[in-house]
Amino acid sequence: MSCDAVAFSAMLWMASFNPGQAATPAPAVSQPLVPKSVAGEPLFQDIVRRARQLKAQTEAYRQALAKADPAGAALPLKGFDGFETRIADLSALDMKGHVTLKERGAVDDLKCILRGISQDLPEKLTAVRAAATIKTQDLALRDMVYLLNDNVEVITAPPQPAA
């Protein structure tokens, strides 16, 4: 290799190095923010408590139906008027949770899920009320159990970043 080539290579190498220049860190990859959990807040604790109680009552209704003929006429459910009232109250609390999160500027899915549950609870209740047979009554109650369980799990699950 000629002296000129070595000198040229050394000049390029030295030009790329500046001792006065601080090394800058590589730009950070932006990680999505994980929202703060609301599970410890009174409103959301109340929603979880009520949903668990209503789920237990719904499961008890299903157990009572298990002894009956599936093709038989739907049975009156003990204390159903109070059950309807408590479902309506839970639906209103879910909507209040949605509004609370929306006012905070929440960008995660929880606020949307709470709104959806708030809208679905009355529909599931209507299906229970409209059931004509034990089988359809049990299916409607099963759907209510799933929805009430979801109501608990979406609040108590660790928060996730917005999708």
Domain span including residue 125: 42-155
| Closest alpha carbon to 80 in 64, 57, 52, 63 | 57
Structurally, the chain folds into a number of domains equal to: 1
- Residue 83 in any domain: the answer is yes
Give the separation between CA 73 and CA 134, rounded to whole angstroms: 6
Which segments in the chain show pLDDT lower than 50? 1
- Residue 16 in any domain: the answer is no
- Residue 19 in any domain: the answer is no
- Residue 32 in any domain: the answer is no
Say what the pTM is: 0.78
Determine the pLDDT at residue 108: 83
